[in-house]
């Protein structure tokens, strides 16, 4: 059973906790696990009790941005682009999951959250920094065009990704405004874009699978061997935890 992080949304006059279909479908098709959505309740969520019932944690992407004050920066975007409930929930979940040996796969915003949880910082508007290629999607394109592979990443030797792919590089899609500025403490670079931007990392010394990627491997996971290999490895780690806890 894998917990999936939720975003908070106002739909009509009511607040909702929501998770994107592509993440739910991706983890079912790619990892062969049962997904459950974790509400973004902040301090209202018992993190330890929640993780004790789970065999894995998937941190999803989102249009919202991690609040800059959480990594010591001033805001440069509209406050409406933040999701306070999600930040208050995912950062404690990440720290406790690593400490408790719960496998983690973090995608896009989840990748950024994980970096912040380990003390790292972010570029809030990567395209305004200079020196980086365009990593945002073209919103005038169709969804298939937006999520198509866009650039290669160089796979670092000896890491998690290197064990999942043949060769020293792989093609990935690119749909993000923010990016890693300073990598968090104890994080290991797994892949970089051609412009040097960190596109994947793992947690050094983590007791279980821990991988964060800036791209979207959940998109049509069954059609992309590299994406599928990531989800398969995550699913295998979740099954090992389930067996260790007599749930498998």
Q: Residue 199, exposed/middle/buried by CB under 10 A (0-12, 13-18, 19+)?
A: buried
Instruction: State how beta strands 104-107 and 210-213 pair.
Output: parallel
Instruction: Map tokens 């919103």 to a residue.
Output: 139
Query: Is 216 part of the annotated catalytic residue set?
Result: yes
Catalytic residue among 135, 176, 216, 224: 216
Q: Residue 140, exposed/middle/buried by CB under 10 A (0-12, 13-18, 19+)?
A: exposed
Catalytic residue among 137, 190, 199, 218: 218
Instruction: Map tokens 């590299």 to a residue.
Output: 226
Catalytic residue among 7, 108, 192, 238: 108
Query: Is 108 part of the annotated catalytic residue set?
Result: yes
H/E segment holding residue 226: helix 225-244
Query: Is 7 part of the annotated catalytic residue set?
Result: no
**Under 8 Å between Cβ of 23 and 75:** no
Residues linked to residue 178 through DSSP beta bridges, in sequence order: none
For the chain, how many residues are written?
248
Rounded Cα–Cα distance for residues 85 and 114 (Å)? 16
Q: Which residues are the active-site residues?
A: 108, 216, 218
């Amino acid at each position: 059973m894998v917990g999936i992080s939720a975003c908070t949304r106002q739909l009509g006059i009511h607040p909702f906790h929501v998770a994107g279909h592509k993440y739910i479908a991706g983890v079912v098709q790619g990892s062969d696990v049962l997904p459950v959505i974790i509400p973004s309740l902040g301090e209202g969520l018992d993190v330890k009790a929640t993780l004790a019932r789970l065999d894995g944690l998937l941190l999803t992407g989102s249009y919202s941005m991690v609040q800059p004050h959480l990594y010591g920066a001033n805001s440069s975007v509209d406050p409406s682009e933040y999701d306070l409930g999600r930040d208050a929930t995912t950062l404690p979940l990440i720290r406790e999951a690593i400490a408790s040996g719960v496998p983690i796969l973090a995608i896009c915003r989840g990748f950024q959250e994980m970096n912040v949880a380990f003390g790292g910082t972010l570029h809030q508007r990567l395209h305004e920094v200079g020196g980086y290629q365009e990593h945002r999607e073209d919103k005038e394109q169709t969804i298939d065009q937006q999520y198509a592979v866009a650039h290669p990443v160089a796979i670092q030797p000896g890491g998690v990704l290197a064990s999942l792919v043949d060769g020293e590089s792989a093609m990935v899609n690119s749909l993000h405004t923010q990016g890693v500025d300073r990598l968090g403490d104890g994080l290991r670079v797994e892949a970089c874009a051609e412009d040097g931007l960190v596109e994947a990392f793992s947690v050094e010394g983590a007791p279980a699978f821990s991988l964060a990627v800036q791209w979207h491997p959940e998109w049509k996971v069954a059609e992309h061997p590299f994406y599928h290999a990531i989800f398969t490895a995550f699913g295998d780690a979740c099954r090992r935890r389930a067996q260790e806890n007599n749930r498998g």
